[in-house]
Structure 1
Amino acid sequence: MSKTEMLNKELKSHMIELEKQLDSSFDKINNLIDQLFIIDTPISNFNNPKFEQSSPKFDQFNLIGLNEFQLDILQEVKPLINQKIKDQVQFELLQLQQNDCILIQQSSQQKEIQQIIKTPSSQFNLKPFTYQMIKHNSIQEQQSCHVIEINKDCSMVAIGCWNQIKIYEFKQGIMKQIQVFYQSIYSVYNLNFMQKSNELISGDLIGSIVIWSGNNNTQWNSSQTIKGHSAYISCLILNNNEDLFITSSFDKTIKFWIQKNEWIWQQTITDHIDNVYSLSLNDQEDKVISCGLDGRVLVIEYSEQSKTWIVIQNIKVDCFGYRLSFINNNLFAFQPRNGNLMYVYEMNSVSKQFTKTKDIIVNQNNDDNYELFPSQFIKQKQILVIKHGEYVNFIRKTEKDEFKVEQSIHFYTNILFGRLSDDGEYLITWDDSSKEIQIRKYKEE
């Protein structure tokens, strides 16, 4: 090795050692500076004229453990550090003033919000509305369509026409058929899209449940078949996470199904003593309500402790009904079969029991004779859609849990089935009078 190479190597070694010493020194200096900026003085003293004399200074801190080299560096940066302390104090004062301003603004905004809440029509920015039929988009259909399902993004529609399932592409109020397949030889009464897994659940007249897997939404094939009930499945609902669905049946039971590697039975509720017609799940998804031919409404709650669903209330109604729906965690609506009233039930904050608090006049006295067409509450528009007899009623929830019938569409037949899209923009129905699949669009007046 040449002398030059040896000198370069030695110089490189010294440089590495010096770099290590500098790193160590600056680590200690940084720790000291960090201490300098921990201010224990109460913030209320910042405005005190004497604060400048009493504020922390470089000289007040323990410098033991630093070598001469490190002390020399500190002496050089001492003026900078003291200035930094003053800057930090001024910054803290500025932050304090800004926080005070924010608090004042928040208080003012809160008062404005409270004032808005007191104004009935401002709470949801409510406006009168109607659902108007798009006449040229209707589809002639001679077979009874017992169930209509719209997926979450409103891009697909599935319709159960006797034992057929028809899949339509849905775009800007126009339906285009893309597939037809058969569940069995029996009528299909339930359909539910699962967006996350791209699956479709169907239920039929004899209690069979089929899971259909979609391939690019153009080809649906059976992936699992379950013998769910011993009789007709009247209602099938799905939770938001799409890992639980609940079914009711004319076999007088309510069943809970959970997703493992495949869908499996979890639990059965047997408290109804006759046909069960309808189910609804609350916002928190810890309560289910049901109604049936036995003239009872059950409130069923999930117990975290036992990991089971338990009937916590059995409400006797004066007339059985086919439809009910949660409005929120504390309110639900029930539509009796007879008469012209809809009942509203509210949960008592102390007893946690639901009691009837309101009767809402919905339409002329018109008895109902058909189940299916489940009721829905659309939160985005604060609209409850609920069929009664020959009418489909649209009821707006207003301030203080009041309800107003905004529109009643008369179909002149009891044999009427349909669904609102999840955003409330479209209503799709089939009725025995027109023999049409009709599409209606939400329009504010």
Structure 2
Amino acid sequence: MEYCKMIENEEKLQCANKHSQNPVITILLDTDFVGAQRLACQQCIQNNLRPFNGISLTQGISKIQQMRSKIYNEILNLFLQNQIKMQSFKNKISQWKEQLLLTIDEIQSNLEIWMQELETLKNSYKQYSLLNEIDKVIIQLDKLIEQEKQQFQQRIQKFKDQYQTKIYKKIDSLQNLIQDQLQNLYEDSIIIKEIPQSSKSFFEQQQRESNQVVINQLNKSDRVEYRLIHEAYQRQFSRALDFNHDNSLMAASSDQNIIIWKFQEGKLNNKETVLTGHKNDVFCIVFSKKMNWIVSGDKNNQIISWIERVNNQGKSQWESFVSVKQHKQFILCLYLNKNEDELISSSADSKIKVWKVECKSNKIEYKYSLSEHKSFVDKVDLNSTETQMVSCGRDKKIILWEKDGNNKWKFKCNVAQSTNDYGLRIGFLQDDTIVQCQYSQPFLQVFKLQNGKFSQCQNLKVQLKEIIAEVSKDSEDPKNDITFFQLKYLEQQKVLVFKSNRYIYFMKQSSNSNLIYSCDPIDCKTFLCYGNITNNGRYLVIWNEKRLGFQVYEIEYR
């Protein structure tokens, strides 16, 4: 134990009455004295008319010494704890600095080599070989210059492809490093207010153990396994993507554009086809399952359809058709029916619109509107016979719609639910089962058809991983998730694939109708991840903001 030191000189202390000839011998304990008034000498005690209430100066100093030493040692313990944390924090920053500088040096080195290559290429044109050039004297100068410029551009492009890829990878690595380090620093109690973690850790541990028990108990034939097999760089946000009928093409948004990728054996290749026409970020893309026809919706309330045509020279090109705007706010969901003659759109304007579609002629014609929701309509989905439709919105409503005798959608009922929350994703698992992902709570809610109406089944709801809120580039307020990335039920594999917060889940129904984990969910490390699964369920493609690009997972159903 360390001891404190009194700063005053005991011999120079004076009583409250300034009897300078008499040393202080007593500390008075009366409550009406404060500070130096408590110091008393022998003369003070003799002059005091009331009963004596005090202790000797030696006793007082000893008591204060013990008290202050105990306080100091408690403070010392707190100091040492914080000093250790601060030193750890300092070491992390130093390591981070070294890693950052090393990565930046590698980027600069690649840039310098790239520039040297360009300089060497440029200098190669300052000299020539007579024997190599002699045949060119018969070529027209303008034509020769054009040929040389094209060759020069091709060589520049070769350097660009070579070094730009390296640099982008380093920049990507740099960003990942920064994100990872920031996450580590945020988790450090030095820079954020410490909060009790015991309940959170217990919840997560119990959840992990429960889910793992279920996964371990699954028969091998019921398990799902996934592995990351490919990544493709794309800095621009891709909030929507879909695949054509044979999964050979992937249409993916790139901010306000759409890029057509060749998709072969889980690899994304050749993104030379860029569809331009949207004036703002593309939020929805649906690919026809019969032909190379696409419909897309954006933040500017616009729906555009696209069709691939092959001209007389055998060259492929995409034609667009811009529909008349009907929605007043951005498009959140598009659904194309199986016959591909009807399109359903939902929007932030609280409306659901129904459109007539002619894919071959690439035409979309507005038919009518549905207006029961009072806020954003995030998602719509149809049952297998396409006679019922379910929708969910920010008004916390789940609405069931039904086709009437004229083949028009009509409001049927509101689906009762006990949760005071809204869902970002909803869909039919079977015609008698609806599932919905909550926004604020980590649950997948289940609704079963009972006595002619859908009822919420609390005993069937699924506990998901804890929600982690974060700030996106579109908002300063923390968010849990964004509506894009619709859930999908793979009929052949009997597997439900869906996103909640930052996780992608694979679940199957047990014999007693419970949805159970088929594997651990994929942790994308951010809710800013959007994707889709191929029509055959073999590949899952995710655009991940942390990775600044696409990640392709191969899925195996055991």
Q: Same fold (TM over 0.5)?
A: yes
Match of 1:174 among 267, 270, 273: 267
Partner of 1:152 in structure 2?
Answer: 245
SS in 1 for 2:235: coil
SS in 2 for 1:138: strand
Quick one: which amino acid aligns to residue 211 of structure 1?
S
Quick one: which amino acid aligns to residue 336 of structure 1?
Q
CA distance in 2, matches of 1:240, 1:149: 15
Partner of 1:397 in structure 2?
Answer: 509
Whether 1:227 aligns to 2:325 is yes
Give deviations 1:130-166, integer Å, cap 9, x for gaps. 22110xx211111111111112311110000111100
Whether 1:291 aligns to 2:418 is no
CA distance in 2, matches of 1:333, 1:353: 11
Q: Structure 1 residues 209, 256: closer, same or farther in 2, change over 3 A?
A: same
CA distance in 2, matches of 1:191, 1:365: 27
Report which of the two has the higher share of strand.
Answer: 1
**Contact residue 121 and residue 398 of structure 1 kept, 8 A:** no
Partner of 2:499 in structure 1?
Answer: 387
**Contact residue 355 and residue 364 of structure 2 kept, 8 A:** yes
Partner of 1:236 in structure 2?
Answer: 334
Partner of 1:309 in structure 2?
Answer: 409
Alpha-carbon distance, 1:381 to partner: 0.9
Q: Scaled by the length of structure 2, what TM-score is found? A: 0.55
- Structure 1 stretches lacking a partner, 5+ long: 1-119
Alpha-carbon distance, 1:343 to partner: 0.5
Match of 1:424 among 537, 540, 549: 537
Whether 1:207 aligns to 2:301 is yes
Whether 1:140 aligns to 2:224 is no
SS in 1 for 2:499: strand
Partner of 2:442 in structure 1?
Answer: 340
Alpha-carbon distance, 1:218 to partner: 4.0
Partner of 2:286 in structure 1?
Answer: 192
CA distance in 2, matches of 1:224, 1:195: 21
Partner of 1:326 in structure 2?
Answer: 428
Quick one: which amino acid aligns to residue 542 of structure 2?
T
CA distance in 2, matches of 1:238, 1:354: 27
SS in 2 for 1:345: strand
Quick one: which amino acid aligns to residue 310 of structure 1?
K
**Contact residue 323 and residue 364 of structure 2 kept, 8 A:** no
Report which of the two has the higher share of helix.
Answer: 2
SS in 2 for 1:263: strand
Quick one: which amino acid aligns to residue 355 of structure 1?
Q
CA distance in 1, matches of 2:367, 2:323: 16
Partner of 2:554 in structure 1?
Answer: 441
Alpha-carbon distance, 1:236 to partner: 0.3
Counterpart mapping for 1:16-95 below 5 A: none
Paired positions, count: 320
Partner of 1:23 in structure 2?
Answer: none
Quick one: which amino acid aligns to residue 416 of structure 1?
C
Alpha-carbon distance, 1:318 to partner: 2.0
Q: Structure 1 residues 221, 306: closer, same or farther in 2, change over 3 A?
A: closer
Partner of 1:183 in structure 2?
Answer: 277
**Contact residue 340 and residue 366 of structure 1 kept, 8 A:** no
**Contact residue 224 and residue 506 of structure 2 kept, 8 A:** no
CA distance in 2, matches of 1:218, 1:128: 41
Partner of 1:76 in structure 2?
Answer: none
Which stretch shifts more, 138-147 or 179-188? 179-188
SS in 2 for 1:255: strand
Give deviations 1:244-284, integer Å, cap 9, x for gaps. 11100001001111236732222211110011111111101
Quick one: which amino acid aligns to residue 489 of structure 2?
F
Give deviations 1:146-189, integer Å, cap 9, x for gaps. 11111231111000011110001111111112401212221111
Partner of 1:128 in structure 2?
Answer: 223
Give deviations 1:27-70, integer Å, cap 9, x for gaps. xxxxxxxxxxxxxxxxxxxxxxxxxxxxxxxxxxxxxxxxxxxx
Whether 1:254 aligns to 2:254 is no
CA distance in 1, matches of 2:517, 2:262: 32
SS in 1 for 2:300: coil
CA distance in 2, matches of 1:365, 1:189: 23
CA distance in 2, matches of 1:264, 1:126: 46
CA distance in 1, matches of 2:255, 2:357: 28
Alpha-carbon distance, 1:293 to partner: 0.6
Whether 1:164 aligns to 2:236 is no
Alpha-carbon distance, 1:215 to partner: 2.0
CA distance in 2, matches of 1:320, 1:230: 22
CA distance in 1, matches of 2:556, 2:454: 38
Quick one: which amino acid aligns to residue 387 of structure 1?
K
SS in 1 for 2:324: strand
Q: Structure 1 residues 218, 190: closer, same or farther in 2, change over 3 A?
A: farther
Partner of 2:456 in structure 1?
Answer: 355
**Contact residue 290 and residue 299 of structure 1 kept, 8 A:** yes
Q: Scaled by the length of structure 1, what TM-score is found? A: 0.68
CA distance in 1, matches of 2:531, 2:487: 10
**Contact residue 159 and residue 167 of structure 1 kept, 8 A:** yes
